[in-house]
């Protein structure tokens, strides 16, 4: 389903020898080539310090590469935000405005782009319905559970009808049952909307469940270690989670992750982690 | 929410907040009265609370007139400090250079005692009300500048990235992100400053020593001291303290009104 056509389609994102060294000398990402095709769901996994968050932030345009470059739909960052080239980012935390009600939080990207009131109302309602929170539009974030706040955050990302959805360990802080449910929702949204998604996670199970392709990264310096394509055409549901095929994918990913850890440079205190600039 | 349904009204939070301090106050006043009577303390040293209350009633018109003068200066100074302090904070938050250049002078304003500056201000300004207002405003200014600047800078980094990714304009970021983030800090500044404005108004009047028609409570205290009318001195003192407490409560209520629905500090604890 939605198999990317590598021959004809324009890649959504290309990193061309992009590398990132922070001001304190930490090489977070060695020169890296990376391509994301339309309709792909790619997960980035790897030990801490492997630069997966850095790569995601480069793709989001939140960081600029020290050297090399990034292209979005074969163009520069200035063409982003045009119809067909929208991207949305979901953070590790829900990152909601505590003073604004759920509906106002979801509406924020539309307000910043001066979308008309009535059109905005309709789109907010649709986005909230998609994440199953229509009843909570008038609530404040602090009145919601962690999982519900995360769903608001996803609704805020979806409300712009993004073409590329970037997520930085969005469900890392949630319990397993909530996380599985959100993964189900996310996978369903992705297949319904024909999104392209780039997803950073610590969990091989999450990566195995969601992805069409998994990029395993190694640390010190941060780099792409291995890419694993997941060819599973059947539906991804609870049955898939319990299937031998899923267990096999998880084992492959775990092995690759272990190798990546062994291939990572020595864990020195001062060079550890994706240090913020 | 469930507390009212489950617990009797005696245990309601608001009731306790009012009744317990009030009870403590009454006990202390009773003890004061008893000690003064038991040892026959002379009135010109420590008058009894009942004597002070009687003086307050007897001199009510005069004292209320003075209270009005002091209140007027307090409110004018508080309003001036709020407007000027907030504007300065916005300027500081917009540019590191402005903050770097002028923050030390804001501190200078704070650390210079108003009693030392007041004579100058009084000489410069013909109008007494204006002079006193300026002095009181100087005292009340700094907490508003410091708190609001901190608040405007205390934006959650995640939300800041979100706004940046949405390519929000500087104005949008200020209005939709920085101002709401700063509100709790701004109100904290106002709560400190309203008390300081009152203190500034009283101190400035002490220094100015103005009498006659436009005499405030400080003048009444000075006069009562000269005349060894200690009960009136205490009555004026009680009025100043009561005003300060009421101002603080008013600001607290305003904060609750503005932030109650979302901010942690104002949210009721669920039990």
Read off the CATH number of the domain in which A184 is found: 3.40.50.300
pLDDT for A270 equals: 47
| Residue at a domain's end among A140, A161, A182 | A161
Mean pLDDT of A72-76: 89
pLDDT at B244: 93
Write the residue in B159, B259, B261 that is nearest to A95 by C-beta.
B159
CA distance A94 to A43: 20
Whether A5 is covered by a domain: the verdict is no
Same structural domain, A100 and A58? no
Interface test with B, best of A53, A62, A90, A95 (most B CBs within 10 A): A95
A&B contacts, CB < 8 Å: 49
Whether A190 maps to a domain, the answer reads yes
Reply yes or no on whether the pLDDT at A219 is more than 90: no
CB nearest B262 (choices: A89, A99, A109): A99
Would residue A51 count as lying in a domain?
Answer: yes
Residue of chain B with shortest Cα separation from A97: B159
Give residue for tokens 């539906």: A235
Mutate to test the interface with B, among A60, A108, A140 (most CBs of B within 10 A): A108
Structure tokens that stand for B227 in this block: 């005349």
Determine, for residues B165 and A62 on separate chains, whether the beta-carbon distance falls below 8 Å: yes
For chain B, list residues whose CB is within 8 angstroms of any CB belonging to chain A: 156, 158-159, 161-168, 172, 176-177, 180, 183, 259, 261-264, 267
Which tokens is A203 given?
């969990």
What's the number of CA atoms in the CB half-sphere (13 Å) around residue A117?
0
* Residues A148 and A188 reside in one and the same domain: no
Residues A72, A21 share a domain? yes
Cβ B158–A108 below 8 Å, yes or no? no
Indicate whether A176 pLDDT > 70. yes
User: Is there a single domain that holds both residue A115 and residue A138?
Assistant: yes
3-state secondary structure of B207: helix
Which residues in chain B touch residue A60, judged by CB atoms under 8 angstroms apart? Answer: 165
Angle at A146 between CA A179 and CA B2, to 5 degrees: 135
Nearest-Cα distance to chain B for A108, in Å, is: 9
Considering the segment(s) B55-258 as one domain, its CATH architecture is Orthogonal Bundle (1.10)
**Residue corresponding to tokens 């005349």:** B227
Same domain (yes/no): A173, A260:
yes
Residue A112 makes CB contacts below 8 A (sequence gap 6+) with: B163, B166, B167, B168, B172, B176
Q: Are residues A209 and A259 in the same domain?
A: yes
Rounded mean pLDDT, A32-42:
93
B145 to A151, B82, B253: CA distances (angstroms): 38, 9, 22
Closest CB to A60: pick one of B163, B165, B176: B165
Residues A70 and A41 occupy one common structural domain: yes
Chain A contact residues (CB < 8 Å to B): 60-62, 81, 87, 89, 91-93, 95, 97-100, 108-109, 111-113, 140-142
Contact A97 B183 (CB under 8 A): no
Nearest residue, CB atoms, B165 vs list A89, A93, A97 = A89
H or E element in which residue B20 lies? helix B13-38
- B158, B259, B262 member nearest A91 (Cβ): B158
Which domain range does residue A133 map to? 93-161
Q: Are residues A190 and A241 in the same domain?
A: yes
pLDDT band at A179 (very low <50, low <70, confident <90, very high): confident
* Domain count within chain A: 2
**Which domain-ending residue is among A129, A146, A161?**
A161
Q: Does residue A148 form part of some domain? A: yes
Residue A155 and residue A171 in one domain: no
Residue A271 falls inside a structural domain: no
Q: What pLDDT score was predicted for residue A271?
A: 47
User: Residue A125's pLDDT band (boundaries 50, 70, 90)?
Assistant: very high
CA distance B140 to B138: 6
Name the residue of chain A whose CA is nearest to B180's CA. Answer: A99
H helices within B125-216, ranges in order?
128-153, 157-165, 170-173, 179-208
**Mean pLDDT value across chain A:** 87
When pLDDT is cut at 50, 70 and 90, the band that residue A236 belongs to is confident
Helix (H) or strand (E) holding B15, with range, is helix B13-38
- Within this chain, do residues A152 and A21 fall inside the same structural domain, yes or no? no
In a domain, A146, yes or no: yes
Q: State the pTM of this model.
A: 0.81
Q: Which residues of chain B have pLDDT under 70?
A: 1-11, 210-214, 265-271
Let me know: does A162 contact A128? Beta carbons within 8 Å.
Answer: no
For residue B165, which residues of chain A lie inside 8 Å, CB to CB? 60-62, 87, 89
The pLDDT of A77-98, averaged and rounded, is 86
Query: Over A27-49, what HEC string results?
Result: EEEEEEEEEECCCCEEEEECCCC
Output A137-141 pairs: Cβ under 8 A, ≥24 positions apart.
A137/A101, A137/A102, A137/A103, A138/A101, A138/A102, A138/A103, A139/A101, A139/A102, A140/A98, A140/A100, A140/A101, A140/A102, A140/B261, A140/B262, A141/A94, A141/A96, A141/A97, A141/A98, A141/A100, A141/A102, A141/A105, A141/B262
Distance from CA of B163 to the nearest CA of A (A): 8
Percent of chain A with pLDDT over 90: 52
* Domain final position from A161, A185, A213: A161
B158, A95: Cβ pair inside 8 Å? yes
Q: List, in sequence order, the alpha helices (H) in A40-175.
A: 52-60, 102-112, 117-130, 146-158
Same domain, A172 and A56: yes
* Per-residue pLDDT, B127: 85
Angle at A150 between CA A144 and CA A153, to 5 degrees: 105
Contact residues, chain A, for B164 at CB < 8 Å: 62
């Amino acid at each position: 389903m939605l198999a990317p056509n590598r021959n004809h389609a324009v890649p959504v994102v290309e990193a061309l020898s992009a590398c990132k060294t922070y001001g304190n000398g930490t090489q977070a990402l060695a020169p890296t080539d990376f391509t994301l095709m339309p309709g792909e769901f790619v997960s980035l996994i790897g030990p801490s310090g492997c630069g997966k968050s850095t790569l995601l932030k480069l793709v989001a345009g939140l960081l600029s590469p020290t050297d090399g470059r990034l292209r979005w739909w074969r163009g520069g960052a200035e063409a982003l935000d045009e119809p067909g080239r929208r991207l949305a980012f979901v953070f590790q935390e829900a990152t909601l405005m505590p003073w604004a009600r759920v509906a106002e939080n979801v509406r924020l990207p539309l307000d910043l782009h001066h979308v008309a009131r009535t059109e905005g109302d309709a789109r907010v309602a649709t986005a909230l319905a998609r994440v199953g929170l229509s009843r909570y539009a008038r609530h404040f974030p602090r009145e919601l559970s962690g999982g519900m706040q995360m769903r608001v955050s996803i609704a805020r990302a979806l409300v712009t009808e993004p073409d590329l959805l970037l997520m930085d360990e969005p469900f890392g802080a949630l319990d397993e049952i909530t996380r599985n449910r959100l993964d189900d929702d996310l996978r369903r949204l992705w297949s319904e909307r024909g999104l392209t998604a780039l997803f950073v996670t610590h969990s091989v199970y999450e990566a195995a469940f969601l992805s069409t392709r998994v990029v395993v990264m190694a640390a010190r310096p941060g780099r792409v270690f291995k890419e694993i394509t997941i060819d599973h055409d059947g539906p991804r549901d609870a049955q898939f989670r319990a299937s031998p095929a899923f267990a096999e994918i998880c084992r492959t990913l775990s092995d690759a992750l272990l190798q990546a850890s062994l291939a990572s440079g020595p864990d020195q205190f001062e060079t550890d982690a994706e240090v913020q600039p | 929410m469930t507390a009212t349904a489950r617990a009797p009204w005696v245990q309601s939070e608001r009731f306790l907040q009012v009744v317990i301090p009030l009870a403590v106050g009454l006990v202390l006043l009773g003890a004061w009265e008893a000690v003064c009577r038991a040892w026959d303390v002379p009135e010109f040293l420590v008058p009894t609370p009942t004597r002070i209350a009687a003086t307050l009633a007897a001199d009510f018109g005069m004292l209320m007139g003075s209270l009005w003068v002091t209140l007027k200066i307090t409110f004018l100074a508080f309003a001036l400090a709020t407007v000027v302090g907030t504007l300065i904070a916005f300027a500081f938050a917009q540019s590191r250079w402005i903050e770097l250049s002028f923050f030390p002078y804001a501190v200078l304003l704070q650390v210079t005692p108003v009693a030392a500056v007041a004579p100058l201000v009084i000489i410069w300004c013909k109008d007494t009300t204006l002079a006193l207002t300026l002095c009181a405003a100087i005292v009340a200014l700094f907490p508003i500048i410091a708190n609001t600047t901190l608040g405007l800078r205390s934006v959650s980094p995640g939300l800041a990235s979100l706004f940046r990714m949405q390519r929000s304009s500087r104005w949008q970021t200020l209005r939709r992100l920085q101002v709401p983030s700063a509100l709790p800090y701004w109100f904290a500044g106002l709560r400190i400053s309203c008390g300081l404005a009152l203190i500034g108004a009283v101190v400035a009047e002490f220094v100015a020593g103005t009498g006659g028609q436009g005499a405030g409570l400080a003048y009444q205290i000075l006069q009562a001291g000269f005349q060894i009318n200690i009960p009136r001195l205490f009555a004026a003192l009680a009025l100043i303290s009561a005003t300060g407490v009421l101002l603080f409560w008013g600001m607290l209520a305003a904060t609750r009104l503005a932030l109650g629905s979302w901010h942690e500090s104002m949210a009721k604890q669920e039990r």
